[in-house]
Each structure stands twice: as structure tokens, then as C-alpha cells.
Amino acid sequence: GAVVSQHPSWVICKSGTSVKIECRSLDFQATTMFWYRQFPKQSLMLMATSNEGSKATYEQGVEKDKFLINHASLTLSTLTVTSAHPEDSSFYICSARDPGGGQETQYFGPGTRLLVL
Amino acid sequence: AQSVTQPDIHITVSEGASLELRCNYSYGATPYLFWYVQSPGQGLQLLLKYFSGDTLVQGIKGFEAEFKRSQSSFNLRKPSVHWSDAAEYFCAVGAATGGYNKLIFGAGTRLAVHP
């Protein structure tokens, strides 16, 4: 089946620094990737949709200058949390859309846990 | 607006017992429906999906779900639960936008399994 990886799996950083999270589709080309945020014991909230070669589409209430998304290739999307603060601590999960499977399905990465001190 | 409701926040069952997790959706057109499972600290794994055709869908790990349009439901079932099924389960509906589907998730149901 389709495999999506994320790196790093966890990161601890100081307040004010920037953190980059990578999302890769390993065995398929993903023209569209999605970034979600999940708070403890809560559901996933879509942050933005990342399309290869174009600007990301952000959901209402998500600061695009805070969460920079780049989708430079068909297998890689990155999320950069700029000037991170403790309130940005969360579990970030990406997914990739695999249209080649014949149906619209998103495959999820294992997630990245971010802790901002 | 599209939405997904999972009425049960937490369910506890005994190992070997049957399981049904409820999911209701609100969507104007024929929905794409999904069930995902999430183990602690992990990403989401697709259990099964419904796009069209047979309303009873078989998935991995012995799970199945039935789409009932009249009830706007897509409940997940398993005849005999194993201890390894303890996890968080999310129902999602695909909402068409710009040529692809955004997923709208329910709040999730946490399943605990007693030995």
C-alpha cells in the first residue's frame, strides 16, 4: 500500500526558533498533500492543502506566515513553523492524496510531535 | 456545511465481544466515507472506505462498515474484538473542493478492550 513518511518524528525547540517538518510519499507521486494539527485527545484539524508547484491553500484561522508550506516536488512537502511558541506545541500529521489508486484516498504519515519550550 | 458526528467519545468492550462504532454525517451529495484508526502517538491507518456500489464495505483487520443513506450513517463493526484493537477510531467524510476531497473528521471514539 501507499506509504507516507514524516521527519522528524519528534522535535523539541526553544521559543522563537523555526522548525521544519518533512512529509514524503515513498511509493507514489502526490500532487496534493495535506497538513493537519491534532491536540491531545482531539480530532485532526486541517491546516492547509499543499499542491505541487503552487501556493498552499490555508484553512480559515491558520496563519500562512506562521506555518510556511512548500511542495517543491511530487513526493515532498514541508511545513515550517516559524518563530515557534509554546502554544504551537502539538502533533502535526501530513497526508498525501493518491489519485493513482483509482479513488480519492489520503494516506497519512506517522506524525511529528513538536514541543516548544 | 459538511460535518461528521461520532456520538460515542469512549467505548469499552470485552475481548471477543462484538463492536459497533457509530458515525453520522451531513453532506449534500453522495459522500465519500472513511474509517481510520490511530494508535497512541501514531498516524492514521485507513481501515476501509465507501465511494459507491455495495453499501456493506469490508476493510482490514476484520472490520466492516455499512452505508445507510436514509440514516446518514456509516457505522463500523467487528464481530469479535481483539485486545490489539484498542485505539482511537475516526470517521471522515470527503468533501469535494477544487477537484479533490478534503477530509472532515469526526471527534473520534476511543476504544478500550478488557481482557
Partner A contacted by B5 (CB < 8 A): no
Give B43's contacts in chain A (Cβ within 8 Å). 4, 6, 93, 108-111
Residue pLDDT tens, chain B, 115 long: 788 999 999 999 999 999 999 999 998 777 889 999 999 888 899 999 998 889 999 999 999 999 999 999 999 999 999 999 999 999 999 877 665 678 889 999 999 999 8
Mean pLDDT of A30-42: 89
Contact B74, B89 (CB under 8 A): no
pLDDT of residue A36: 95
Rounded CA separation A109/A3 (Å): 8
Instruction: Judge whether residue A37 has pLDDT over 60.
Output: yes
Q: Work out whether strand A90-97 and strand A76-81 pair parallel, antiparallel, or are unpaired.
A: unpaired
Contacting B residues, span 51-110, partner chain A, CB-CB under 8 Å = 51, 90, 94, 98, 100-108, 110
Whose cell is 510531535? That residue is A113
Kindly indicate the confidence band of residue A114, based on its pLDDT and cuts at 50, 70 and 90.
Answer: very high
Rounded CA separation B18/B59 (Å): 16
